[in-house]
Amino acid sequence: MKKNLGALPAVYPMPVLMVAAYGEDGKVNVMNAAWGMICAMDKIALFIDEDHKTTQNLLKRKAFTVSIADKAHITAADFFGIVSGNTMPDKFERTGYTAVKSEFVDAPVIEEFPVVSECELAEVVKTDSFYCIVGKIVNTAAEESVLSEKGKIEPSKLNALIFDQFQNGYYVTGEQVGKAWNAGKELMKK
């Protein structure tokens, strides 16, 4: 029997995404965003607040990157979520991480995170219910260490962090338990 828990954001897993943009002064700013998702083959949607430093930066530069945080970099990933660039101007520098300019957009690529999508600002959607940044993915780059023999990103090698909104925890992905567009085929035979 299910127990009623009230109105909760009960979606799991949630990605742990590192959104990065340059400020007007050229400084790197990065934020941790769990409320993001792919919304088309070449688009990503980020449901983030308008007042974030990173949001303001990417709106001005019209570009940003989105990296997948992994287990090896949990400390910095969490730090990027608990500290605001509005109150700590040297937020990125404190981690000792390295950023290089994207070859494709006017935004920083954080070298330590294994997978990055380089995005142009496509649109901003603002309603009474949400504020959403939509980016057009221009390029995705991945460390060779997380690629399969076929050159595709291998989740079991990635150790991507996922956010648990129920108890504010981080977990990692990895085990494949089935094949998409295949696991349910048996029910088609009935």
Residues 92-126 have pLDDT tens digits of: 999 999 999 999 999 999 999 999 999 999 999 99
CA angle (175 as vertex; 171, 180 as ends), nearest 5: 115
140-180 per-position pLDDT tens digit: 999 999 999 999 999 999 999 999 989 999 999 878 888 89
Residue with tokens 């001005």: 60
Name the DSSP letter for residue 147. B
99 domain residue, yes or no? yes
6 domain residue, yes or no? no
165 domain residue, yes or no? yes
| 16: Cα within 13 Å, side-chain hemisphere | 30
Return the CATH number at 131: 2.30.110.10
For residues 74-87, average pLDDT: 95
Is residue 188 very low, low, confident or very high in pLDDT (cuts 50, 70, 90)?
confident
In one-letter notation, the amino acid at residue 132 is C
Residues β-bridged to residue 118: 65, 139
| 94: Cα within 13 Å, side-chain hemisphere | 14
8 domain residue, yes or no? no
Domain interval for residue 101: 14-189
